[in-house]
Structure formats: structure tokens, C-alpha cells
Amino acid sequence: MIEVISAARCVECNQCVAVCPTNVFDRVEGGIPMIARQKDCQTCFMCELYCPVDALYVAPDSEGVAGVTEAELERSGLIGGYREKVGWGKGRQPVASHEYMIKLAARAGF
């Protein structure tokens, strides 16, 4: 579930508040959004994709809070990693346009 909103990175655009399908965030006047309903997080990672500055981190486990810290994430380089893989963001090629997708579908035979 959603674990971290980096105060250092967040630009208070509140895009995460707008896009979260399960309404996990609350807008805060004059501050960064807050994780108001962490347990409602469905761990879909969409907030990460829509965050323009890679300020969010969603841990894979949907059942419990992992308690990771921003400092750990900066060290491991995991924050922002998903957007990079999907190819969203300036100067990146979206994975949708990559031949990998097609090949995968063909090989899986679905």
C-alpha cells in the first residue's frame, strides 16, 4: 500500500488526490497531501504513475504497512522506479509502443 509522500519532492499539485481510484489521499491547504485512508489503498500503483515528480512510493503488500522511510527509498533508488519502467515522463519511450508487449502477447498464447 501507499507508504511515502516525499515532502522533499512533492510540488503540491494534488494530482494523487485527484486520480486515486480508492480515495486514499486528502488535500491539505498550504501543504503536501496526506495519506488519510491508507487501508483503503488497493496497491494499484496508479498514483505513482501520475505523480509528475516521483514523490510517491507504494509498497507491494496490500495487507500491511511496511513502514519504509523516504531515506531508505532514496538509498535504494526504488522511488520513481515504476514510472521509469513504464516509460512515462519526459524523454522516455512508453512501454506501450515497445515491441516487447506484442511479443509477450504472442508468446503467452492468450
Partner 1 sequence: MPQHIRQQPIKQNTTADVLVLGGGPAGAWAAWNAARNGARVILADKGYLGTSGATAPGGTTLLVIPPVAELREQAVTARLRAGGYLSENAWIHRVLDQVERNLELVEQWGYPFRKDETGRPLRTHLHGPEYMKLMRRVVRKAGVKIWDQSPALELLHDRHGVGGARGVNRLTGEAWEVRANAVVIATGGCAFLSKGLGCNVLTGEGLLMAAEAGAELSGMEFSRQYAPSFAGGTVTRGRMLAWATLYDGAGRPLLRGDRIFGSIPELLSKGPVYASLDLADTPEKREFLRRAHPIFFMPLERAGIDPFQGKFPLTLRYEGTMRGTGGLRLTGADCSTSVPGLYAAGDAASREKVTGAISGGGAYNASWAICSGSWAGEGAAHFALSSARTADSRGLTAAGRYGLQAGSDQPHAFEAKPLITAVQREVLPLEINYFRSESGVGGALERLDALLPELGGVIPPTVQGIVQSREAAALLMAGRWIYTAALFRKETRGLAHLAEYPQLDPRQTHRIILSGTARVNIRTESVPHARELRVPEEGRAII
> Applying CB under 8 A, does 75 fall inside the site for partner 1?
no
* Nearer to partner 1 among residue 5 and residue 20 (C-beta): 20
Minimal distance in Å, beta carbon 11 to partner 1?
19
Please work out, in degrees rounded to the nearest 5, the angle formed at the alpha carbon of residue 103 by the alpha carbons of 59 and 49: 30
Minimal distance in Å, beta carbon 65 to partner 1?
13
* Nearer to partner 1 among residue 8 and residue 96 (C-beta): 96
> Applying CB under 8 A, does 23 fall inside the site for partner 1?
yes
Q: How many residues make contact with partner 1 (CB under 8 A)?
A: 46
**Contact pattern for partner 1 over residues 28 through 57, marking x by CB under 8 A:** ---------x--x-xxxxx--xx-------
- Convert 16-27 to b/e letters by CB count within 10 Å (16 or more is b): bbeebeeebbee
Minimal distance in Å, beta carbon 7 to partner 1?
20
